[in-house]
């Protein structure tokens, strides 16, 4: 049993993480260390993190969708393949060597941060797609979903840059679509974690309450300020994640 004050603190952590995650991703960088500091074993911390994160991401998706920034019907094939990719990644994680990712992923995240920092034309306006949306978004969903099942950090940044660079979406629409696929990949992991009994439900519930508030406020902030806030937050979160992975793999 955790002290009520610790549970209250974890709810506040969930709210902050939900806010950041709804705009730029990377909320797990805040919640996982907090869960470990509260005394949860590593597997329980990861499972509980996925559970509370799904709730916050779901609220963000709903908010972006209500405001017209997510075309769920167009994303249905990608949602299905993201779920399949994430499930396959989680299933194969114990059978592959992911040590190379601890170096490759930070390099990719720094490249993403530099792109968002220096690309002159990033805005909320849609541009011409480099690849057909209906054909290649599902392929991207499967590939990044598989990565999320195996490793995970930076998944939101990879989805966002894919939607912007390959499919021409404006930053706010790209962020909303990213949340939809991120929600799906996290849900796939829970299919494994929940039956295994790894979720610490009292912690997951109080953090989920915080995530609902943070996810809603974050999505509303992202919608209101668009590229002005999404762009710098993606840069900050990507660099912070890269540093964390390099220094604390």
Nearest partner of 105 among 135, 134, 148, 72, judged by Cα? 148
154-181 average pLDDT score: 94
Of 84-98, 188-202, 233-247, where does mean pLDDT reach its minimum?
84-98
Report DSSP letters for the chain, one per residue: ---HHHHHHHHHHHHHHHHHHHHHS-THHHHHHHHHHTT--HHHHHHHHHHHHHHHHHHHHHHHHHTT---HHHHHHHHHHHHHHHHHHHHHGGGS--TTHHHHHHHHHHHHHHHHHH-TT-SSS----SS-HHHHHHHHHHHHHHHHHHT-TTHHHHHHHHHHHTT---HHHHHHHHHHHHHHHHHHHHHHHTTTT---HHHHHHHHHHHHHHHHHHHHHHHHHTHHHHHHHHHHHHHHHHHHHHH--
Residue linked to tokens 């992202």: 222
| Residue range 165-178: mean pLDDT, rounded | 94
pLDDT at 196 over 90: no
DSSP string of 44-71, one letter each residue: HHHHHHHHHHHHHHHHHHHHHHHTT---
**Among candidate residues 224, 218, 220, the one with its CA nearest the CA of residue 237:** 218
Helix axes 227-247, 155-165, angle to 10 degrees: 140
Which percentage of the chain shows pLDDT scores above 90?
59
User: Is 82 a residue whose pLDDT tops 90?
Assistant: yes
Residue 240, pLDDT above cutoff 70: yes
- Residues of the chain with pLDDT > 70: what percent? 98
Determine the angle formed by the axes of helices 101-118 and 227-247, rounding to 10 degrees: 150
Confidence of residue 78 (pLDDT cuts 50, 70, 90): very high
The larger pLDDT score, comparing residue 143 to residue 195, is at: 143
Residue 59 phi, psi dihedral angles, 5° rounding: -65, -40
Q: What is the pLDDT of residue 10?
A: 95
Average pLDDT for 192-216: 92
pLDDT of residue 57: 94
In the predicted structure, residue 68 carries a pLDDT above the cut 90:
yes
């Amino acid at each position: 049993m955790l002290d009520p004050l610790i549970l209250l603190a974890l709810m506040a952590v969930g709210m902050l993480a939900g806010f950041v995650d709804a705009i730029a991703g990377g909320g797990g960088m805040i919640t996982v260390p907090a869960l470990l500091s509260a005394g949860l074993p590593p597997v329980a911390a990861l499972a509980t993190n996925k559970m509370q994160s799904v709730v916050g991401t779901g609220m963000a998706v709903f908010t972006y969708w209500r405001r017209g920034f997510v075309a769920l019907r167009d994303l249905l094939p990608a949602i299905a393949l993201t779920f399949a990719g994430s499930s396959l990644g989680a299933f194969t994680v114990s059978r592959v060597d992911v040590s190379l990712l601890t170096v490759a992923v930070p390099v990719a995240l720094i490249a993403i941060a530099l792109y968002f920092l220096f690309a002159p034309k990033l805005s909320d306006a849609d541009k011409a797609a480099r690849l057909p949306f209906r054909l290649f978004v599902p392929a991207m969903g499967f590939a990044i979903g598989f990565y999320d099942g195996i490793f995970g950090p930076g998944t939101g940044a990879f989805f966002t840059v894919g939607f912007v660079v390959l499919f021409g979406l404006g930053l706010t629409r790209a962020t909303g679509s990213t949340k939809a696929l991120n929600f799906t990949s996290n849900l796939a992991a829970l299919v494994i974690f929940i039956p295994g009994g790894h979720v610490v439900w009292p912690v997951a519930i109080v953090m989920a309450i915080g995530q609902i508030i943070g996810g809603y406020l974050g999505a509303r902030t992202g919608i209101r300020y668009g590229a002005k806030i999404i762009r710098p937050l993606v840069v900050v979160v990507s660099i912070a994640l890269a540093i964390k992975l390099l220094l604390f793999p």
